[in-house]
Amino acid sequence: MENLTAGRRRAALLALALGGFGLGLTEFVAMGLLPDLARDLLPAAYARSAPDAVARAGWMITIYALGVVVGAPTIAALTARMPRRRLVIVLLSLFVAGTVASALAPTFELVLAGRFLAALAHGAYFGAAGLLAAAMLGPGSQGKGFAIVLSGLTAANVFGVPLITGLGQAAGWRVAYLAVAGVFALTLLFVVFTVPEVAAAPGGSPRAELGAFRSRQVWLAAAVAAVGFGGFFAVNSYIAPVTTHVTGLSESYVPWVLAVMGVGMSVGNAAGGVAADRHLRRSMLLGFVAMIATIALFGLVARHPVGLFAGAFLVGAAALFIGPALQARLIAVAPGAQLMGAAVNQSASNVANSAGAALGGAVIAAGWGYLSAAWIGVLLAVTGLVLAVLSFRMDRRPGVLGEPRRAEPAAV
């Protein structure tokens, strides 16, 4: 990698974070616009039963997550020898195309197809951009590198998602998605002019990347993210109907609730990036305990406006605190296939997205009420904690899989 001035490095990191901002928009805007999507794309179902139609519209979230699951390992394997900057440019181009297709598609089924297309690039982008950021920051910065890219996603939840949600409510959800496509196009230009080229990992190949799947720890670490992080999405996916139908606030409050959750996510992500690089195991386990507690609290207090806002902040902070640790863990257990490890984390996180949204929607459709999704979230987070404990107990070499090494004795 070429030597960079401090200004060029900051600009390059900002460009990569802007891509994370776009990903935050495209992934989370649907959650705030589910009622609008249901009314527009499923009018007959919405007229019969608004909760059933909203639950069905939740497939917008689920299909995007499934696209990430399919695309992340596939692209990681096929592009193992591609320089990282070039890969990021290709992925951003796919985001632009898929998001525009989503905005212009005339039917619910075609909108789902457009969302799936855009989602194929999601996991590989976070993996490649996170590794690029870590390379620019220097050795021992995997957690901070991923946190920088993820900071764009959390910033999106602070002000981007609320703004785009408000735009969608006022001008239509299609206009909102065209605005998201514009963010991806702007990111593409910034990356072209600021991000340096970084070669692919030496010896990288599809075979080497796919070899990560021979490790039981890779599968177990992926399961931790896929199940445990689903607790967050069980809450986040239905934040709009909880705000309007449970707490009793008007639709105009939904962007503000999303913004408060986004602030919590930003705080949690910033702290989690530092904590993951210092002590991965401790940060992950404490993070899961905090997520269990905050989701349960949300389920108890979200009927009241103060409880809704406070609970949204705490759930966002606890969930994103774990994010950098989950990424660093998968990279650590797949040392010969870092891009695959980083991409698999995104696949796992979007299995969590899919499972959280689907299971939450199922209990809502069954008539248990919108807050029942929070208790599904508690169950998923508890399961994630159990899997994390099991994964760490399987470790046999401290210092290799996220534990600090003992100090070497001084030479005499």
pLDDT digits (tens, 9 = 90+) for 199-228: 666 555 566 666 667 778 888 888 898 899
Is residue 409 one of the residues assigned to a domain? no
pLDDT recorded at residue 92: 94
Count the alpha carbons within 13 Å of 411 in the hemisphere toward its beta carbon.
Answer: 0
Is residue 367 one of the residues assigned to a domain? yes
SS3 state of residue 199: coil
Is residue 279 one of the residues assigned to a domain? yes
Q: What is the CATH number of the domain that holds 71?
A: 1.20.1250.20
Total domains, the chain: 1
pLDDT recorded at residue 297: 95
Is residue 402 one of the residues assigned to a domain? no
pLDDT recorded at residue 403: 41
**Helix locations, 33-157, DSSP H:** 34-41, 43-48, 50-57, 59-78, 84-104, 108-119, 122-137, 142-155
Q: Name which of 66, 40, 312, 5 is nearest 168 in CA terms.
A: 40
pTM surpassing 0.75? no
Is residue 165 one of the residues assigned to a domain? yes
* pLDDT tens-digit series, residues 341-363: 777 777 787 778 778 888 888 88
pLDDT recorded at residue 406: 37
Query: Which domain covers residue 104, as residue numbers?
Result: 6-394
Is residue 412 one of the residues assigned to a domain? no
For the chain, which ranges sit under pLDDT 50?
398-412
